[in-house]
Structures are given as C-alpha cells and as structure tokens.
A and B are shown apart, each in its own frame.
Chain A
Amino acid sequence: MKKVIIFLSTIILIVAVTDYTIGICCRYYIQSHELAGRYKPLDRLLKKVDTDIILIGNSVILNAINPQIISDSTSLTCYNGGITGKSIEFSEILINSILQRHTPKKIIIALRPEEMGANAGDGIFDVLKPYYDMGYKSIDEYFNSTSKSEKLLLQSNLLRYNTIWMRALLYIFFDNHDYSENGFVAQEIPAIFPQIQHITTYDLPIKRKTDALQRIIEKCKQGGIELYISFPPILLSFSKKELPCVHAVDSICKANSVKCFIDYNKEEFLHDPRLFYDNYHMNKNGAAKYTRNLVQRIQPSYKIDAPCQK
C-alpha cells in the first residue's frame, strides 16, 4: 500500500507543479504574443481588431466576404472575423468581448440557413478556454455557467491549454498564412466545380439560438452599432421555399428593424457553380461578386465597378 501511495502522490505532485508552471508560461505568452495559424483570427478579434466594420460568423462568411472590397468602396476599415465551425452563441460571446474594448460602426453577421436549428451543432467553445479569467466578461460568464465539473477542470492549466498550446506553438513554424491581414481566406478555384445538392429535409429553430440573436441585436442597439444579418449564397437547393430557421431570423430582424439579406438561394449564384469552392463555401471569384453585391445594399452610394483587390 505504501508503494501505491508514494506512486500516486509523486505523480500528483509532479503533475500539479507542471500544471502551475505551464499556466504561468502560457498566460504570459497569450498576453504578450499574437497566436498564429488558425488561432490568429480569434486572437486578433479579442485583442487587436479596431476596424469600422467587423464581419462575424463561421466559415461561410470567412470565404464569402472580402473586406478589401468593402474598404475600397466605403472608405471604412473592415475585418473578416469568420471562424470555422462556430455557432451564433459563439458569435454572441465574441461580439460581447470585442465591444468591451472597441465599438465598430457596423457589424455584419453571416449565417447558414440552418444555423438556428438543433442539428447545426453548437460549435466547440474550447478555443476560448485560454482567454478565461483574462478580463473578458462574457467568456468568463460562459464558462462560469457550465457544469461544476467543467468549471473544476478549467482550474487545471494543462486541460485549459489542452491541444491548443501545441498547435499554437507548431503554427509559429508551420503557419501557411491562409489568413490575410484583414482575416479573409480566399478559396482557390477548384479543378472540378461542385454540383448543386438538393435538400429535402429542414430543421426547426431552437429558442436558445434565436435568443442569442435577439441579445446580439439589443447589444448592438445599445452601442449604436448598425447590425446586418446575411445568409450568403451556398450551392444547395432546398425543396421547402421558406426554411423555418431563416424565417425565424427574418422575423426577429423585422421586429427589430435590422436589415436581413436572405441570399442563400440567390438565383445568380445558385446557377453558377463556378463561383463556389464547395457546396458551402464560395471561391475567391464568388466572394468578390457577393461582396460587391452586399456593399451595394449596405452602402447604396457604392459603385458596382469598384476595383476588386485582395
């Protein structure tokens, strides 16, 4: 029994000391350096971005809206803060954290048509863990509202920086610079264009997600920020004409006088697979076309023949 006690207590001691040391090192690193690679957009949004327009959403917006085109035509600075696989609730936390430090003039949120549904998933919030207890109120609130066990595990630095530290470290050496300075990722034109897919099923909106959107709208109203909601084009055709999830978003927007651009089935895009990288993401040509189209609506004085630059 003595052997077992010595074995276990020594392991616990070594792990605890390492945990503490790693905590100090990682905290210092995150506070003083910008994370590279896939962590760059989140890190920038939380610590640095101070543009007039901020684009928020998942990979749909990341590949669909080119901030350079918006800047060139509106004279407003713009940053694409799309983060792959993230949900509306994640966007809410992100917006709240940004507003703590900087108030942009406009925010554009891009959504997938089924974003508000239960099957869309909630996205993984783990990437926010390194920013817990670092002064971001909404991030702290989110993790404080999770289960007791989750909160307890967050006290461990090893778990908090789990997988992130290693990847962040490796990105220093293997950053393939997908992200441009304005956050936009221009998807290449694929060798084979994707084929349109027909979707016969549809999802129903869930309250938790629509509530998150409602809170974002209220927060933006309070801060005097112009908010736009957009459903960028995708290469999917839905058998149901009006999707319940999209309808729910549209209703909330109408009730709050927020402009909502329902473009996911826009004919000029739907019939042109050459504008897409895959069924959910546009390629750089598609992004340029859609961004020009979008700017016209948020800034009516914009000229359609404005130069397209990356």
Chain B
Amino acid sequence: MLFNSLSFILFFPIVCIIYWILPNRYRNLMLLIASYYFYMSWEPTYAILILFTSISTWLCALNIEKNERTKKASIVICLVINLLILFIFKYYNFTAETIVSIFPSISIPHSDLLLPVGISFYTFQCIGYIVDVYRKDIAAEKKLITYLLFVSFFPQLVAGPIERAKNLLPQFHRSHTFNGDDFIAGLKMMIWGYFMKLCIAGNVAPYVDAVYNNVDHHNGTSLLLASFFFSFQIFCDFGGYSLIAIGTAKCVGFTLMQNFNHPYLSSSVKEFWRRWHISLSSWFADYVYIPMGGSRCSRVKHYRNLLFTMLLSGIWHGANWTFLCWGGLHGVLLVLNALWNKLTTKISPKFISILFTYALTSLAWIFFRANSISDALTVVGKICSEPGPLFKGDGIPALMLPLMMILILLFKEIKDECSIKLNFMHHSSSWISIPSCAFMVIIILLCAEFNSGQFIYFQF
C-alpha cells in the first residue's frame, strides 16, 4: 500500500480510530494485523518472508541471551540467514551477470524473483537488533508479537527510518494515552511530507525521466536542469516518505527517529551524511564504520574505513554499478573532506561551503540516477561542454510549477535551519496554524502529481 494511494487515505483513519478505541493490551496485536495487511496489499506471499526473517531473528536473539556458549554461533546463523535472503532476492542477478561478463564461458541461470518491497530496510533493522542483543546493549524481546511488530510496524516498514531496537521496542511496552497535540503534530508532518512527495518529487519526475532516459538526445543545459531537479526529487521523495512515516507513527503515539535534517544546507560532505538518511548513515556508522576502527586508527585505515563504508552504502541502495559508483564517489569525497580538514583550518564563508557541498552531492546524484555509468559520464561531459537551448518537456509551465514548489521548500528549509521565528503551520495561535494547514492541503490537491507512482526508495 502506498502512502499516496486512496487505500492508505482510508486505511490510516480506520487504524487510528480502532487503535485509540481498543484497550491498551490489544493495541499491539491490532497494529501487527494492520501492518501485515499494509504489507500484504502489495504482494501477499512475501509476508511469509518477513515473518520468517522476524521469527528466525527473534529465536536467535533469545538463544544469544540464554546461552552464552552458543551465542557466537547464533549470531552467525542469524546474519547468514538475513544476508542470504537479501542476496538471493536483491543481489543474485547482479552477481550472476557480473560473473558471466567476466567469464563468458560460464552460464548462470537468471532469477525471476520479484524484489520484496522494503527488504533492505527490515533486514537491516533485524541485523541491528541481533547485534545489539549480542553486544548486550539491549535485552532480547521475549514476546513474539512485540518483536514481529517491531520489524513490521507499518509506518516504517517499507522505506524506513531504520529504527533501533532500543528506541522503538520500549515504546511497544509502554501504554499510550491519546494526546491531541501529538496527533495534530503528526498530521502536520504528514501534510508537509505529502507536499514534498506529490508536489515536488511528483512534478519534477516527468522531466527528469524524459531527459535521463535519453541522455544522448539532450544538451548540457537540459541535463543540468534535470540533475538539479533530480537532487530535489530524491530528497523530496524520500524525505517526504520519512515525514509521512514519522507523522503516521506519531498519530498512534510512537516517536520515530528523524531521518533528514536539511541536508542541502550542509557545509561539508561529512555534515551532509549527518543530515541525509540519518537512520541508515548512523546504522552504517554503528555496525560497520566504528567496528572497523572508525577514525580512531591510522590515517590510511581511517580512509579505508570511509571508502569501504560508503561503497557498502552504495550497494545497499541497489544491485547496480551506478549505485556502487555513487557510494564510491561519496567515499572519495569524504576522504578528501578529511584530508582538507587536516591540511587547513581556514573556513570559507558558510554560504560558499553550502553551495559547493550541494554541487558535489548533486554531481554524485548523477551516478545514482543515470541508467548506466556510461550515461552518467555522458551527462557530466555534456554539462561541462555542451550548452544549448533548454528542452522544455511539457512546456515552460510544467517547469515553472515544480520550481515554485522548490522555492517554498527552500524557504522552509532555510527558515528552520536559521531558527527564524516565522511559523505558519506550527504557529501557537490556531487562527494562523489551522488556515495555514488548510492552505497546504489545498496546494497539495491543486498542484500534486497523483500519477507519480511509488516512492523511489521502495526499490531498495
């Protein structure tokens, strides 16, 4: 079920009403049923997969806690199961194709398995949980229903945020009382999330697709605009989804972690990764980067750790060389960032740093969006050397509309970043906040692209 579908618009209030009417002890069970229904509305059979992953992780975690002697074997078994499932569904074809391209004499059958929605998200959530139990950072969850709900909680099931057990699990044990302010705050987050997804990501998508799916036919000017649009499409698509997820959870009394914190206002690539997809970057930091030694080792090892973590982050996004290249590029940028910090303490004006960082991350997005590495190189080459008349796609108004929406977004991002007290939707007076929310709903209904389809991050 998509957040931007009519079925979700009906599903969500029904879940909210039943949830708050039910006595506390039945609420988790009800949320679990709702979450599986939410997931099964996409592909019912794949619910078995998430159930299997959850139960195997739950059993292994219990064994780790109970049996000190076999805890190493348990965590290894659990990691193998999780990663093997992920490999079979996500990386098998990519690996097979790569092997065949290197050794053409070998023939490896192609898999026709459909990639389960959100598999990377819930697999990482399970891995994070089992490692935390192994490290004794948290106690293993005793109740199966609670654990199943932790993995499948519908707001964050298919595209995160990748929640940590120590943040989310205790919330399932707490009894929740209805809080009107929290509910309204959740709705406001959802409204802004929908604005980002439907009005910005949805409206720029046709232009980006038209240009990026035919890079040979477009000049540098059109490719530059498409790349600029894509940087906002990916942010608004994923950031919008995260906000809707966090808002939805808030309406049923749960607090999920913040996933984006004005990433395009970062003044360095290092800072960008503290603000972009926070739940994933902190996951990689906690379970990959820091265990490898992080920055508290020799300089060479530090750079190796950075590169390896970013390459892993790249391949996490998708089984394609373009994602690997995107991750590698970010790794190189982070190494250069670290080198620069070592060489000089001189800080350039913040505005310049922000623009420079935005340019670098947008350059990396080209590899993320392009259909192949050669396409990405063509885009970069043409942007640098081939200006020309702008491809207008569906006409100037079709370009003006998303540009106007991007301006609204930038205004809010800068206002929040600079803590400018100019609140509309969050104004203390209801006379301002409610009409502002209504205005946003009207803007969404009038300007949203409802045919924009699923969220980009669903494929990961």
Give chain A's interface residues, CB within 8 Å of chain B: 1-4, 6-8, 10-11, 14-15, 18-19, 22, 37-38, 124, 126, 149, 153, 156, 158-159, 161-163, 165-171, 174, 176, 178, 194, 278
CB distance from B4 to the nearest CB of A (A): 13
By a CB distance below 8 angstroms, the chain A residues around B347 are: none
Whether B180 and A2, one on each chain, are in contact in the complex, defined by CB atoms closer than 8 angstroms, is yes
By a CB distance below 8 angstroms, the chain B residues around A159 are: 445, 450
By a CB distance below 8 angstroms, the chain A residues around B108 are: none
A1-B178, A161-B446, A165-B446 given as contacts; is B395 within 8 A of A174 (CB)?
yes
CB distance from A6 to the nearest CB of B (A): 7
Whether B397 is near chain A, meaning CB under 8 Å from some CB there, is yes
Complex: A165 Cα to B450 Cα, angstroms? 15
Interface segment among B231-239, B311-319, B434-442: the answer is B434-442
Complex: A124 Cα to B449 Cα, angstroms? 12
Complex: A30 Cα to B230 Cα, angstroms? 34
Complex: A262 Cα to B401 Cα, angstroms? 40
A4-B180, A278-B217 given as contacts; is B398 within 8 A of A167 (CB)?
yes
Q: Which of B400, B442, B446 contacts A170 (CB 8 A)?
A: B400
Whether B451 is near chain A, meaning CB under 8 Å from some CB there, is yes
Whether B183 is near chain A, meaning CB under 8 Å from some CB there, is yes
By a CB distance below 8 angstroms, the chain A residues around B442 are: 14-15, 18, 158
Whether B448 and A14, one on each chain, are in contact in the complex, defined by CB atoms closer than 8 angstroms, is no
Q: Which of A7, A22, A170 contacts B187 (CB 8 A)?
A: A7
Count A/B pairs, Cβ under 8 Å.
90
A2-B180, A156-B445 given as contacts; is B398 within 8 A of A7 (CB)?
no
CB distance from B451 to the nearest CB of A (A): 7
Task: Output the nearest chain B residue to A18 by Cβ-Cβ distance.
Answer: B442
Q: Which of A14, A156, A166, A278 contacts B435 (CB 8 A)?
A: A14
Q: Which of A153, A163, A171, A174 contacts B447 (CB 8 A)?
A: A163
> Interface majority SS on A: helix, strand, loop or mixed?
helix
CB distance from A87 to the nearest CB of B (A): 15
Whether B68 is near chain A, meaning CB under 8 Å from some CB there, is no
A163-B401, A174-B400 given as contacts; is B448 within 8 A of A1 (CB)?
no
Against A, the Cβ 8 Å flags (1 = close, 0 = not) of B423-443 are 000000010001101110110
Whether B394 is near chain A, meaning CB under 8 Å from some CB there, is yes
Most buried by A among B180, B183, B437, B445: B445
Complex: A15 Cα to B434 Cα, angstroms? 11
Known contacts A6-B430, A156-B445; 14 additional CB pairs below 8 A are A4-B180, A14-B435, A18-B442, A37-B395, A149-B6, A158-B445, A159-B445, A162-B447, A162-B450, A163-B203, A163-B446, A170-B396, A174-B395, A176-B395
Whether B136 is near chain A, meaning CB under 8 Å from some CB there, is no
Task: Output the nearest chain A residue to B442 by Cβ-Cβ distance.
Answer: A18
Most buried by B among A156, A163, A166, A178: A163
By a CB distance below 8 angstroms, the chain A residues around B395 are: 37-38, 167, 171, 174, 176, 178
Q: Which of B6, B184, B450 contacts A4 (CB 8 A)?
A: B184
Complex: A38 Cα to B206 Cα, angstroms? 15
Against A, the Cβ 8 Å flags (1 = close, 0 = not) of B89-107 are 0000000000000000000
Complex: A126 Cα to B450 Cα, angstroms? 10
In the assembled complex, 18 residue pairs joining A and B whose CB atoms fall closer than 8 Å, in A order, are A2-B180, A4-B180, A6-B430, A10-B434, A11-B434, A15-B442, A19-B445, A159-B450, A163-B447, A163-B449, A166-B446, A168-B397, A170-B400, A174-B400, A176-B392, A176-B396, A178-B395, A278-B217
Most buried by B among A1, A4, A19, A124: A4
Whether A170 and B180, one on each chain, are in contact in the complex, defined by CB atoms closer than 8 angstroms, is no
Whether B445 and A37, one on each chain, are in contact in the complex, defined by CB atoms closer than 8 angstroms, is no
Q: Which of B180, B397, B439, B448 contacts A3 (CB 8 A)?
A: B180
Whether B181 is near chain A, meaning CB under 8 Å from some CB there, is yes
Most buried by B among A19, A22, A167: A167
By a CB distance below 8 angstroms, the chain B residues around A10 are: 434-435, 438
Complex: A120 Cα to B181 Cα, angstroms? 49
Whether A162 and B448, one on each chain, are in contact in the complex, defined by CB atoms closer than 8 angstroms, is yes
By a CB distance below 8 angstroms, the chain B residues around A167 are: 395, 397-398, 401
Whether B446 and A7, one on each chain, are in contact in the complex, defined by CB atoms closer than 8 angstroms, is no
Against A, the Cβ 8 Å flags (1 = close, 0 = not) of B398-417 are 10110000000000000000
By a CB distance below 8 angstroms, the chain B residues around A149 are: 6
By a CB distance below 8 angstroms, the chain A residues around B434 are: 6-7, 10-11, 14
By a CB distance below 8 angstroms, the chain B residues around A124 are: 451
Complex: A3 Cα to B438 Cα, angstroms? 15
Task: Output the nearest chain A residue to B388 by Cβ-Cβ distance.
Answer: A191
By a CB distance below 8 angstroms, the chain A residues around B447 are: 162-163, 166
By a CB distance below 8 angstroms, the chain B residues around A14 are: 434-435, 438-439, 442
Complex: A167 Cα to B399 Cα, angstroms? 9
CB distance from A194 to the nearest CB of B (A): 8
A10-B434, A38-B395, A124-B451 given as contacts; is B446 within 8 A of A158 (CB)?
yes
Complex: A290 Cα to B183 Cα, angstroms? 63
Most buried by B among A153, A158, A278: A158
Whether A163 and B448, one on each chain, are in contact in the complex, defined by CB atoms closer than 8 angstroms, is yes
Whether A166 and B180, one on each chain, are in contact in the complex, defined by CB atoms closer than 8 angstroms, is no
Complex: A7 Cα to B448 Cα, angstroms? 23
Complex: A167 Cα to B435 Cα, angstroms? 25
By a CB distance below 8 angstroms, the chain A residues around B400 are: 170, 174
CB distance from A298 to the nearest CB of B (A): 32
Q: Which of A3, A4, A15, A169 contacts B445 (CB 8 A)?
A: A15
By a CB distance below 8 angstroms, the chain A residues around B183 are: 4
Whether A174 and B184, one on each chain, are in contact in the complex, defined by CB atoms closer than 8 angstroms, is no
By a CB distance below 8 angstroms, the chain B residues around A158 are: 442, 445-446
CB distance from A280 to the nearest CB of B (A): 11
By a CB distance below 8 angstroms, the chain A residues around B446 are: 22, 158, 161-163, 165-166
Task: Output the nearest chain B residue to A150 by Cβ-Cβ distance.
Answer: B6
By a CB distance below 8 angstroms, the chain A residues around B445 are: 15, 19, 156, 158-159, 162
Complex: A168 Cα to B395 Cα, angstroms? 11
Most buried by A among B397, B400, B442: B397
Whether B397 and A166, one on each chain, are in contact in the complex, defined by CB atoms closer than 8 angstroms, is yes
By a CB distance below 8 angstroms, the chain A residues around B439 are: 14
By a CB distance below 8 angstroms, the chain A residues around B449 are: 163
- B residues 266-297 in Cβ contact with A at 8 Å: none
